[in-house]
Amino acid sequence: MKIHIGSRGSALALAQTNKVAQALSDLGHETELVIIQTAGDLHQDRCFAEIGPPGVFVREIETALLEEEIDLAVHSYKDLPSQGPEGLVVAAIPERLTPEDCLIMRGDGQPGPSPSGLELEFDLALKNNAVVGTSSERRRALLRSFRPDLQVVPIRGNVPTRLAKLHEGQYDAIVLAAAGLIRLGHQQDAPALNLDSFVNLRLDPSVFVPAPAQGALALQCREGDRVIDAVFPLHDVSTSGPVRAERELLRLVDGGCNLPFGAWCHRLDGGDLELMSVLESDGGLIRKSGRSKNPEELASILWGQLSHALPETPTDDTSLEA
């Protein structure tokens, strides 16, 4: 069976899709890559809120799936809105890479103060009033909670482009997902991904809480399609439980407010899942955590805690993740 796989054309998207295509090829399936430009790719000079509602990197690919122009889509799971279109399903979640964010810094600044109650390495690493690039409202809220002096400003472009802007001195630091750096680092044609001239710090996900499903891929196809059986061997059960908890909490939060939000779940030695979350409200951060064996039950417990801590009238800030 020949499977037409839809993907964005960025180096990172192609690295992810090519790995999935190789895994399907190893299972005996013929594949063909179909590159699709999304709104997020076409409007890199604009912030996400100006482009449209959540899903700026997936809408055109999902349309191609529904119109049967492709059979399978490979997404960074964190790019998928909490509610997908009818007729599409996530058929498999491959093994997740690390969920952490990375702070990539120029090495020419003097350390600033550390006023936050929680400690991270970057508390002592960034100079006073450093300019940090990120287009994620979650990352902005977390950065400012640790270091209110930081100037957190938007940055767009693919990973090599962002690193080039950092190298040119447009920023003192940028924040990127560690999984993307790892995936790009495995590509032979990614010479721009040279971090030797930067300081690279991985940020503890229990403190600098990542986006829901960060580091995971979502293999999406049409409901009831034969491709479901083809991709099922790529599904990783150990990844699925934590990601389900994070995504379910995202669904509940999206239904109750539009605020910068992060969630990270991991499995404890005894088998229980531990879910940690952070939500910005009224300029402060609400942190909640809980444990359970059932992902959906765990998400429901945390949403109960978060919703009770929110003010009666949520703000209109958007929570778009890059």
What's this model's pTM, rounded to 2 decimal places?
0.87
Q: Which two tokens stand for residue 116?
A: 């936050």
124-178 confidence digits (pLDDT tens): 578 899 999 998 999 999 999 989 999 999 998 888 889 999 999 999 999 999 9
- Could you tell me whether strands 173-177 and 101-106 are parallel, antiparallel, or unpaired per DSSP bridges? antiparallel
**pLDDT (0 to 100) of residue 110:** 47
> Is 314's pLDDT higher than 50?
no
Helix, strand or coil, per DSSP, at residue 46: coil
**Half-sphere CA count of 212, side-chain side, radius 13 A:** 27
The DSSP 8-state label assigned to residue 67 in this structure reads T
> Is 315's pLDDT higher than 50?
no
Q: What does the pLDDT average to over 279-303?
A: 94
Are the C-beta atoms of 263 and 257 separated by less than 8 Å? Answer: no
Mean of the per-residue pLDDT values for the chain?
86
30-54 confidence digits (pLDDT tens): 999 999 998 766 655 555 555 455 6
User: Could you tell me the domains of the chain?
Assistant: 2-95+216-235 (3.40.190.10), 101-202 (3.40.190.10), 243-309 (3.30.160.40)
**pLDDT (0 to 100) of residue 112:** 45
Point out the residues that are catalytic: 78-79, 138-139, 156, 162, 257
